[in-house]
Amino acid sequence: MHKNLLSLFLLFVISLSSNSQPVLNYDSGHSIGVTTDAYSISGTPANLLLSGANAVWDLSAVPLTPAGSVDLVDPSSTPGFSLYSSSNLAYEQSSGLGTIYNYLIDDANELNIIGRDIGAPNGFGYADPEQLLQYPFSFGASFTDTRQRVSGTLETFNRTYDSYGTLIINGKTYTDVVRIYENTTSAIWYAVTPVISPLIIVRSSGVVYLEPTNPNGIKDIANEASVFVYQGSSKTEVHVVIRGVNDYSNVKMKIFNSLGSEVKDFYITQSRTDFQIKEQAAGVYFFTITNGTSMLKKGKFMFN
The DSSP line for 242-304 is: EES----TTEEEEEE-TTS-EEEEEEE-SSEEEEE-TTSPSEEEEEEEEETTEEEEEEEEEE-
* pLDDT for 148: 95
pLDDT tens-digit series, residues 212-260: 887 654 554 444 556 777 766 666 778 887 766 778 889 999 998 888 8
CATH architecture observed for domain 225-303 = Sandwich (2.60)
Give dist(CA 66, CA 234) in Å, integer. Answer: 41
Q: Answer whether residue 289 shows pLDDT above 70.
A: yes
Residue of higher predicted confidence among 111 and 215: 111
Between 163-177, 192-206, 278-292, the lowest mean confidence (pLDDT) is in 278-292
Q: Answer whether residue 13 shows pLDDT above 50.
A: no
* pLDDT for 225: 54
> Taking the domains of the chain in order of start, what are their residue ranges?
16-219, 225-303
Give 3's pLDDT tier (boundaries 50, 70, 90). very low
Backbone angles phi, psi at 154, to 5 degrees: -75, 130
